[in-house]
Structure 1
Amino acid sequence: MQELITINNTPALVEVNFEELKKHLATELEKYNVVVTQDTVKDAKALATELNKTKGEIAKRKKEEYDRATAGANQFKDGMKELEAMIDVGRKGLLEQVQKFEDETRQLAADLLREKRSEMWESFGVTEEFQSAQFDDLANLSAVTAKGNLAAGARTKLESRVNADKALQDQTEMRLLKLENQSYKAGLSAPLTRSHVEHFLFDEDDTYQQKLDALMKSELGREEVAQNAMRAKMEREQQEKAQAEQRRHGREERAAAAQAEAQRTVPDQPEQEAAPERAAPEASKPQPEHEPAQPGRVPVTVQCTFNVNVTASTTDEAIEAELRRVLEKAGIKTLDTVEVIRQREAA
């Protein structure tokens, strides 16, 4: 297109008797290149007025002749500006189309890379936790072939990143698999789990092993303290149990001795002699209803004798009420009758 530009330029020629005017003006001004006095002030003012008129005429003629001389140049300048504007419009539209094509190509590259990454993750068995490969920097114009397929270079770089995800997954799984065996080997009674090593699980091998060793040592110390505390607790509980057993034996022995002493002070006499004296009051009390016998079962009356020591002012009714309360609290609710036999009555 540049070869079509043809310009015929004839420089403008403006002729003026510049030197003659300059010489004449210099001569006139030389006359008054003196100190103005009373005698010359009038002529000086007149000359100043004349010079101003001459200056105005020169400025007027300069503009007129310059405009006449540059009329063609200005027209040329305006025409060239119009051509430049047309080119700018065309260039802008072309660049917009280029930008649209490049954006669509990059978007196509991103779609192809995303699809290929999903295929690789699935093919390599990378779980969601370790799917971290990125491809934003690969989604460029060179990532797509002329036929609209993913370029080999972009695919190779993406595969390398997916392989890194797989390698990290394998390393993590191996570390967790070894963690139980390492825990028992170190002497722990319970193995460490992922939650214990989560904060350094993905460190470099050397750093990971150093932190794991330190954790193992700390856990061993903590476990030793806990075991010592447990042993001390068990020893205390055993001592307390032995002491409680001794107290129980003491109470039983004292109760047996008291019972034996009470039996020695009571004369041998059938209980039936005292029973008639209490028969009337017992008969007047409402008797609980017996539960109906169930099929295959027969009712049985169970008699128990309790020896207790009470004050002389304690009534038989109070003794019976306390006995019923204690038995009901223990879950025994089938008590029918209560007979209180005082030692003096038996005597």
Structure 2
Amino acid sequence: MSDILTLNAGSSSIKFGLYRSGEEPQLRQLGQIENIGPLARMVLRGEDGKTTTEIGPADHGRAVRAILDVVAPMLEGRAVAGVGHRIVHGGKTFGAPTELTPQVMDQLDALVPLAPLHQPHNLAAVRAAQDAFPQAVQIGCFDTAFHKGHPFVNDAFALPRRFYDEGVRRYGFHGLSYDYISGRLVTDHPDLANGRVVIAHLGNGASMCAVKGGRSIGSTMGFSALDGLPMGTRCGQLDPGVMLYLLDQGYSPVQLGDMLYKESGLKGLSGISHDMRTLLASDAPEAAQAIDYYVFRIRRELGAMAAVLGGLDALVFTGGIGENAAPIRARVADELGFLGLQIDSAANSAGDRVISSGRTPVLVIPTDEERVIARAVSAALR
């Protein structure tokens, strides 16, 4: 068996996992580098909780080298045989895990404008890993891949057709998370796995996916990772006329990009924080308004996803907020009895995996994107 490493790089962090390859990879260590920049730190997670170590100034290259320092003793002299990477955008081309050759990297570089908050950092981590592990197979796993094959009506915008042919279409994201949750349904809830399921991935980035028979047929996210639900700092659904107005008022595309990706969402509405935990603990009316809007949009999109599916057989919460914020779960289901949704308040508060008391099951399933990546690398090595 070989050792494989997974890297899930964001703008200010890199999550990683060390696995022993196999039919089902065996986890050896999880961790992440947080606060990439002047004050980076290493966080390792294990059975005894987590440990934090300050590592000082670090870019993505230095962060990968710090990860190597941590995993090297666990390798016991063996080389890392494969490195798997989360790549947010695969465009029209990439619908399955792919070896990251120079030609592929050039194609992925061209997609940076479609995911400017994520793609550059994903690719920076790939290049750092190629330097650190020159003999390892580098595999890209794409957040858009799970959504390939949507019906045309769920992919297209009502623009001149040439734009759709050029790739201006709805892609959907968070696909690694949806892939993992769909697999968990097969093993843990086989009676639901072939049904009509809405998965709500709620975190700093948030989206919902309509899954039927294990396949994505609709997503709240579209051409970019801005559409759909409001997020920590991203706006979610927005009338494009607002952008035309702001451009006419003198805003530059760069200014608009910074506002939409970094200053909007919960942070923009509240003027307090992008963190749901902070907002739930706040007495400020602006915090309450931001939460009200967040819940309202989830409920609205949940109704839309149920319509796409032609009914609802189960709702699954996942992601940092979905897994941990019981008040948000309760409020989302409130007054949705017509969809069969009713929350058992005791089970919800206790963080149980099944929290429903109505006819439609409501589940809480922790996601594991790193395991999906590890499985893809392990398969490539075999």
Higher helix share: 1
Higher strand share: 2
Q: TM-score, normalised by structure 1?
A: 0.19
Computing the radius of gyration from Cα coordinates, the structure with the larger value is: 1
Q: TM-score, normalised by structure 2?
A: 0.18
